[in-house]
Amino acid sequence: MLTDELKKTIQDAYRQFLDVKQLKARYGQRLMIAHIARTLGGIKRNQEHQRGGGDHLCVVEAGTGTGKTLAYALAAVPIAKACDKTLVISTATVALQEQIIYRDLPDVLINSGLHFSISLSKGRRRYICLSKLDQLLSGADAKVLPLYIDEHMAAPDAESLSLYTDFAQQMATGQWAGDRDDWKTVIADDKWARVTTDHAQCTGRRCSHVKQCSFFKARESLTQADVIVANHDLVLADLALGGGAILPPPEECIYVFDEAHHLPDKVINHFSASFRLAATERWMEQIERALSTMIALPAMDNSIRGELESLLSQMIAVRRGLLPLRPVLEELLETAQERQGVKSLRFADGIVPAALGDHAKSLLAGFSEVIKQAETIVDSLQEGMDNNELSGNREANEQWLATVSMARFRAESAAALWRSYASDASKEKPPNARWLALVETGQGLFDVELNASPILAANALRSALWSRCYGAVLTSATLTALGSFDRFSMRAGLNTDASFEVVPSPFRHAEAAELYIPAMDCDAGNAEAHTAAIIEMLPDLLDADAGSLVLFSSRKQLRAVREGLPKAWLERILAQDDLPKHEILTRHRQCLDEGKGSVIFGLASFAEGVDLPGKYCTHVVIAKIPFAVPEDPVEEALAEWISRNKGNPFMDITVPDAAVRLIQASGRLLRNEADTGRITILDRRMVSRHYGRKMLASMPPYQQIIE
């Protein structure tokens, strides 16, 4: 419980931090600290896990400038330590993760009087695999089956070999710990891919390099840390492995999800499944060749040889079972439609045709048997290695163990798709989205891809996280839509008894910014007339000597507007797709520093996470209400489900989603309390339609000027 002693610890820490930093208390920040402390401090210590409710979950919308990191750190660290739980702080982006680990938390640690240890958690693929490095440098990597079809098996070129040799030397002298992010230069993805690993390939403590392994050394530090800084992808990867595989078990954790509005979409991606027909046939053939090689080894243990022969026979049978599937898929694709350059077919209500469902049941049984047999072999190899009962050198045994582990991993991935297609969609609430697509694989070749995905993250989050974790805080600047948490609660699976709070931003929106909606003769729904109107209006709206950001909902309109503007403006415009995002932002700042005007033309990626304080952005122009194009199969399936349940997808999904994007886009203007400027929305639907007026009412309290 939140004892008087805990309250005093939190209050004293906040007071000391403000005194040392010579800061004034922020009202919203104080409310956030109190709200988190009440929720987490109210969790009964003897409360059993597998909870059905949400009284251990705290949801806080806190605008830019609130100081969220300080608020949740001061409230959650003392409570986590008092409950003997690990505090896991998770972010959606690497940039925020690094800011928290290298700047924000050390600041709290130095200035608050609180004592806690911090560790950064990253996945295996951020660390070098010494086994792979050794194989590459010794020329033995050709024996190892690649995890993905497009991995190159050729010997490394001279440049790569020099880099890998440098890796080994730097590690041998202790000058580098094997963390990709700490290497002295940027490492190309293709070069790094050959010397890193993942859960499927890693042989764990059976690896001869485990004592020097960078990943396991980093993981050991997690067990000692009071606070672990991770990201949403890593937390979800841990949950997909059952929880406790990378991070401590959820039951032993209090989570803080910063940028929590990204969490539902991340979950959907993690719990989706896909299967490519030709690619699967190729990797199965590769594994069959590897198994044949293992079986033919004179030194192979006879009992393991028998297990390998059984696995090989089963894989051949499953691969042959794929042959009659192809004509079924090709016939279905004849009725597919082309969307955004991809030919695809979504199954209504997630119900697959009977013929495909029959194949799904058969293939699920086949791949399940492959998994079972591979697991038996993995256990035998591991036991043999542990007891030194296997003949042959240890490095070769590790490679064979990795090969069979990869066979199991790939079969598990295939089984996940076929399990979804074999299930009764009519019993799913809501049903999963299921669809086929004809995807290009390069060099003019195509493959048939089957997909399955939850349409909401709610069920996955409830079962894998909310029902298990000791407690959780979810925070972001944009969790409400149209003044309600309903949209986020539906997507994130939050119960009504969770604790919800909106704390005020320190920004004086009405004094700092104007929200301007000019008169226009056209409706934004008329794309051609709207584009022409923007071309005519922009030169008068923008200050040629200032920093501006113009946000578009479509690439086509962005290009048309840029091409239609007077030539005098073109030299001031930095447009998305012409340059990488970071280069656009760098050049924009340079222009303003040199006293020149600069205008960024951007799409959705510039409407969130872009920080241009002060002179770098004094005017944000939003071309139109950012409605999502309803062509994504998952969003289509969600809209279909809502319609079948007598809902209104436009008002229940499309409008709230657009309202959130509008707030995020307008938030590019005020980045600190000293910023001022104008937000212009070139879409009269904001005032002419009832949904537009609802959006307008939910915007931050800017001074509104509507012509």
Helices of type H across 423-473: 458-461
CA pair distance 512, 14, nearest whole angstrom:
28
DSSP class of residue 444?
T
What does the DSSP 8-state code read for residue 651?
A: I
d(CA 658, CA 663): 9
Angle at 123 between CA 119 and CA 129, to 5 degrees: 110
- Measured from the Cβ of residue 646, the count of other Cβ atoms closer than 10 Å reads 6
On whether the CB atoms of residues 578 and 551 are closer than 8 A, the answer is no
Rounded Cα–Cα distance for residues 331 and 438 (Å) = 12
- Tell me the two tokens of residue 201: 């390939």
Residue 221: burial class (beta carbons within 10 Å; 0-12, 13-18, 19+): middle
DSSP annotation string for 43-100: S-TT--SS-SS-TTEEEEEE-TTS-HHHHHHHHHHHHHHHTT-EEEEEESSHHHHHHI
**Beta carbons of 432 and 453 less than 8 angstroms apart:** yes
Instruction: Tell whether residue 58 is among the known ligand binding residues.
Output: no
617 is in an annotated binding site: no
Q: Give the Cα separation of 187 and 163 in Å (integer).
A: 9
Q: Among all chains, which residue has been given the structure tokens 């940039």?
A: 95
Contact present, 479 and 500 (Cβ < 8 Å): no
Radius of gyration of the chain (CA): 28
Residue 649, exposed/middle/buried by CB under 10 A (0-12, 13-18, 19+)? middle
SS3 22: coil
Say if CB 363 and CB 418 are below 8 A apart: yes
What gap in Å lies between CA 474 and CA 465, rounded to an integer? 13
Query: Known binder of ligand: residue 253?
Result: no
Q: In a 10 Å sphere around its CB, with 0-12 CB exposed, 13-18 middle and 19+ buried, how is residue 698 labelled?
A: middle
Distance CA 226, CA 228 (A): 7
- Cα 214 vs. chain centroid, distance in angstroms? 24
**591 annotated as belonging to a binding site for a ligand:** no
8 Å CB contact between 133 and 142: no
**Cβ(425)–Cβ(432) under 8 Å?**
yes
Give the annotated binding-site residues.
129, 202, 207, 213
Give the annotated binding-site residues for [4Fe-4S] cluster.
129, 202, 207, 213
